Amino acid sequence: MMQEDSERTELENLGEFGLIDHLTKDLENKQPTTKIGVGDDAAVIDIGDKYLLVSTDMLMEGVHFDLSYAPLKHLGYKSVIVNLSDIYAMNGTATQITISIAVSNRFSLEAIDAFYEGAKLAAEIYGVDIIGGDTTSSLAGFGISITAIGEVEKDQLATRSGAQENDLICVTGDLGGAYVGLQLLEREKSIFKDDDKIQPDFSGKDYLLERQLKPEAKKGLKKMLKNAGIVPTSMIDVSDGLASELMHLGKNSDKGMTIYENKLPIDPLTVSTSEELGIDPTISALNGGEDYELLFTVKQADFENIKSLDGVSIIGHVTDINTGFNMIGKGDNVIKLSAQGWNAFSK
Amino acid sequence: MMQEDSERTELENLGEFGLIDHLTKDLENKQPTTKIGVGDDAAVIDIGDKYLLVSTDMLMEGVHFDLSYAPLKHLGYKSVIVNLSDIYAMNGTATQITISIAVSNRFSLEAIDAFYEGAKLAAEIYGVDIIGGDTTSSLAGFGISITAIGEVEKDQLATRSGAQENDLICVTGDLGGAYVGLQLLEREKSIFKDDDKIQPDFSGKDYLLERQLKPEAKKGLKKMLKNAGIVPTSMIDVSDGLASELMHLGKNSDKGMTIYENKLPIDPLTVSTSEELGIDPTISALNGGEDYELLFTVKQADFENIKSLDGVSIIGHVTDINTGFNMIGKGDNVIKLSAQGWNAFSK
């Protein structure tokens, strides 16, 4: 009665994006209301006057989070943020979410309450209703699945595929902090493992820990852009690292991307802590991930408008596809970018 | 750094519905488009001309399914069906789904392909687009989260809360088969464990195995009802057993429910196999679950229309709340119903 594999291909050989491509390559949309299916930050459904946006994420204990340093309340908050970020990445407004959790009997009601407290707090702050979900048990560990719903005016939609040559590449906030925060937590965890009398020393690192454990999503960008009369030509959220996201925008838009190392917004604390940990801060920004900033492109003509926006950096420009993905280094050297984005299936 | 519980309440003490009630009791909907949040088969969002329906389910290996007898292709099919059934239970049309899975390295690409093959087949047969999802790894086991999206004309919406006194209680198809099918599979699994040379003997039981392993959802009811000019006053799908679903309708509508044992639609094979296994067939129908039939109420005035509908049984009527939940037995005895619905948190 057991299942047998006549052939066996290991998932780690494909990686997360390879697997998604494989599974979704022959999907066809037949519903007249499906405008965009798999392949963007959120699916887009035509509901008449507007587009409805739908995005979903699954987060598993031991893969996406480590409860030995992620407090459950923060985990609840972050789980919601991660999903809202995908709606904002379509230049949309998030309106509702569903929250499903699977928990083993290791978890008490008080633990679940802490998780929900964080999730509800995020929902309240970001103005979304929790309209459904599921709660069930699991044989092992904590699993979370959240679906976010949003809407966008049809003429404001930003997808991954609209970047045009010479468009400006912009990003909100600063990059690499969440990754450096994670490295700090991992370092203290291993020290703690060796000697449990040592207390973690995070003094002065609050910003980095917060970037990792309790990130925020860029709800405000949509309004700022609208007020400035700008519709991004393409947009994506920075969940897997800047390099990986640039390549998503480029590949979906059939364009190349060139960025400038000295334009990358990296917080001074990220720089100093990254160096302390022996990691080039630029690598933290390019490959780190989990920043939940928004990466987008705008027309050259919007230059004057965009450069005055608070918290937005212009980091490069869109090129033809043959130029590929490049970073102009601090010494004007040209560095080929590769996607070191996070792979959930690597060992 | 580890989390500590000062107090610890075990989840099994609340049960699945108790936990959901606890977590959602203070939720407030603030978005003007949220018409119904938590508490029905699907959430209802006002999108102008119509209502949008959203439902989500999480299925975990070892809790909701056992891969030693559920083939992955069937599991993919069933996972989609379970979610579409929630949309049909609002008298809606299912239009799109997202599919997220978390898998340990025990699973090969071929195994995931088999799951998706089943899921895609269900999507094709039921005419829904797969518009998104997530694929990730898990430390142990197979986890599935599906969100179904649908729509319904505003005057056709059926919720759990509209049943009125003297309405007729109706149900599609037949009940108890999926439960008896599960008992057969469990029996053969334990025989197989004791002596692995014995091959499972399921001859003549195909219908029951199919009810358990590859159920169908009642997509067709909506059209049948519409053609007959009937809008159900309330509706729910039979996922946890008839008794549990009757109590959901009753409690949400603030009404009692009386059904008649001799009106319960039970397939002859369900009856004979249930008896063979030493289970009262009525118990299989009342408490078994996973039938994915639709239970609904209609006005007395619709009696002539409803009784001519193919595959629909009238099994009782709605009473005032004080009468409670009762079944009139075959000997005209009155039996109080209790919800023995499936509890994901019981040991």
β B334-336/A142-153 pair status: unpaired
pLDDT of residue B6: 64
Contact B11 A105 (CB under 8 A): yes
Which residue in the set A60, A132, A133 is minimally distant from B102, CB to CB?
A60
Asked if A55 has any chain B CB less than 8 Å from its own CB, the reply is: yes
Task: From chain A, pick out residues whose CB is under 8 angstroms from the CB of B25.
Answer: none
Burial label for B311, CB within 10 Å (0-12, 13-18, 19+), is middle
Q: How far is A328 from chain B (nearest CA, A)?
A: 34
Q: How far is A335 from chain B (nearest CA, A)?
A: 31
Contact A143 B10 (CB under 8 A): no
Asked if B15 has any chain A CB less than 8 Å from its own CB, the reply is: no
Asked if A52 has any chain B CB less than 8 Å from its own CB, the reply is: yes
Average pLDDT over residues B179-199: 83
Q: How far is A131 from chain B (nearest CA, A)?
A: 4
Is residue B190's pLDDT more than 70?
yes
CA angle (A342, A94, A175) in 5-degree steps? 35
Helix (H, G, I), strand (E, B), or coil: what is residue B237?
Answer: strand
pLDDT of residue B13: 82
Asked if B197 has any chain A CB less than 8 Å from its own CB, the reply is: no
Contact B132 A102 (CB under 8 A): no
Nearest CA in chain A to B115: A23
Asked if B52 has any chain A CB less than 8 Å from its own CB, the reply is: yes
Is residue B198's pLDDT more than 90?
no
pLDDT of residue A17: 78
Lowest mean pLDDT among A124-128, A251-255, B202-206: B202-206
pLDDT of residue B347: 40
Task: From chain B, pick out residues whose CB is under 8 angstroms from the CB of A341.
Answer: none
Exposure class string for A110-147: b at 16+ Cβ within 10 A, else e: ebbbbbbebbbbbbeebebbbbbbbbbbbebbbbbbbb
Name which of B4, B23, B213, B240 to mutate to probe chain A: the one with the most chain A Cβ atoms within 10 A of its Cβ: B23
Nearest CA in chain A to B37: A131
Backbone dihedral angles phi then psi of residue A54, each to the nearest 5 degrees: -135, 125
Asked if B72 has any chain A CB less than 8 Å from its own CB, the reply is: yes
Asked if B37 has any chain A CB less than 8 Å from its own CB, the reply is: yes
Name which of B2, B3, B9, B142 to mutate to probe chain A: the one with the most chain A Cβ atoms within 10 A of its Cβ: B3
- Both tokens of A212, joined, read 């990792």
Helix (H, G, I), strand (E, B), or coil: what is residue A57?
Answer: strand
Residue predicted with more confidence, B72 or B200: B72
Which residue in the set B58, B95, B141 is minimally distant from A139, CB to CB?
B141
Helix (H, G, I), strand (E, B), or coil: what is residue B149?
Answer: strand
Q: How far is A139 from chain B (nearest CA, A)?
A: 6
pLDDT of residue B1: 42
Contact B95 A131 (CB under 8 A): no
Burial label for B199, CB within 10 Å (0-12, 13-18, 19+), is exposed
Q: Which helix (H) or strand (E) holds B285?
A: helix B281-287
Lowest mean pLDDT among B76-85, B168-177, B202-211, B316-325: B202-211
Contact B326, B258 (CB under 8 A): yes
pLDDT of residue B12: 82
What is the per-residue pLDDT across B160-179, written as a single tens digit (0 to 9) for each? 999 999 999 999 999 999 99
Asked if A301 has any chain B CB less than 8 Å from its own CB, the reply is: no
Residue predicted with more confidence, A59 or A344: A59
pLDDT of residue B17: 78
Backbone dihedral angles phi then psi of residue B43, each to the nearest 5 degrees: -75, 155
Q: How large is the ipTM?
A: 0.92
pLDDT of residue A193: 73
**B positions 81-120 inside 8 Å of A (CB):** 95-96, 98, 100-103, 105, 107-113, 116, 120
pLDDT of residue B193: 73
Is residue A80's pLDDT more than 70?
yes
What is the per-residue pLDDT across A210-219, written as a single tens digit (0 to 9) for each? 999 999 999 9
Name which of A101, A131, A153, A197 to mutate to probe chain B: the one with the most chain B Cβ atoms within 10 A of its Cβ: A131
Contact A48 B47 (CB under 8 A): yes
Contact B177, B269 (CB under 8 A): yes
Contact A67 B3 (CB under 8 A): yes
Q: How far is A258 from chain B (nearest CA, A)?
A: 29
**Average pLDDT, whole number, for chain B?**
92
d(CA B26, CA B59): 26
Q: How many CB atoms lie within 10 A of CB B223?
A: 10
Helix (H, G, I), strand (E, B), or coil: what is residue A37?
Answer: coil
Q: How far is B61 from chain A (nearest CA, A)?
A: 7
Task: Kindly state the greatest CA–CA separation across chain B.
Answer: 67
Residue predicted with more confidence, B216 or A196: B216
Asked if A33 has any chain B CB less than 8 Å from its own CB, the reply is: yes
- Both tokens of B323, joined, read 């009468």
What is the per-residue pLDDT across B6-62, written as a single tens digit (0 to 9) for each? 678 888 888 777 888 899 988 999 999 999 999 999 999 999 999 999 999 999 999
What is the per-residue pLDDT across A275-285, written as a single tens digit (0 to 9) for each? 999 999 999 99
Q: How many CB atoms lie within 10 A of CB B48?
A: 12
What is the per-residue pLDDT across B282-329, written as a single tens digit (0 to 9) for each? 999 999 999 999 999 999 999 999 999 999 999 999 999 999 999 999
Task: From chain B, pick out residues whose CB is under 8 angstroms from the CB of A48.
Answer: 47-49
d(CA A122, CA A116): 10
Is residue A347's pLDDT more than 50?
no
**How many contacts (CB atoms, under 8 Å) link A and B?**
293
Nearest to B212 by CA among B273, B282, B144: B273
**Average pLDDT, whole number, for chain A?**
92
Nearest to B164 by CA among B51, B62, B294, B300: B300
Q: Quick one: how far is CA A284 from the chain centroid?
A: 15
d(CA A237, CA A343): 17
Strands (E), chain A: 34-36, 43-46, 50-60, 93-103, 129-137, 142-153, 168-172, 234-237, 256-260, 294-298, 312-319, 325-328, 334-336
What is the per-residue pLDDT across A159-179, written as a single tens digit (0 to 9) for each? 999 999 999 999 999 999 999
Nearest to B266 by CA among B256, B275, B258, B277: B275
d(CA A197, CA B1): 11
Q: Quick one: how far is CA A337 from the chain centroid?
A: 19
Q: List the alpha helices (DSSP H) in A25-154.
A: 72-88, 109-126
Is residue B154's pLDDT more than 50?
yes
Nearest to A149 by CA among A90, A100, A67, A212: A90
Nearest to B84 by CA among B129, B45, B47: B129
Q: How confident is the model at residue A2 (pLDDT cuts 50, 70, 90)?
A: very low
What is the per-residue pLDDT across B93-102, written as a single tens digit (0 to 9) for each? 999 999 999 9
User: What is the model's pTM?
Assistant: 0.93
Asked if A11 has any chain B CB less than 8 Å from its own CB, the reply is: yes
Q: Which domains, and CATH codes, for chain A?
A: 11-156 (3.30.1330.10), 168-336 (3.90.650.10)
pLDDT of residue A136: 92
Question: Cα(first)–Cα(last) distance of chain A, in Å?
Answer: 30
pLDDT of residue A1: 42
pLDDT of residue B149: 98
pLDDT of residue B345: 56
pLDDT of residue B2: 46
Tally the C-alpha atoms within 13 A of residue B76's C-alpha that lie toward its C-beta: 22
d(CA B83, CA A133): 12
Nearest CA in chain A to B56: A133
Tracing tokens 């640039």 back to the chain, one arrives at A246
Beta bridge partners of A327: A259, A335
Task: From chain B, pick out residues whose CB is under 8 angstroms from the CB of A107.
Answer: 11
Beta bridge partners of B61: B65
Q: List the alpha helices (DSSP H) in A59-130.
A: 72-88, 109-126
Sign of CA dihedral A321, A87, B81, B186: positive
Average pLDDT over residues A118-139: 96
Q: How far is A95 from chain B (nearest CA, A)?
A: 7
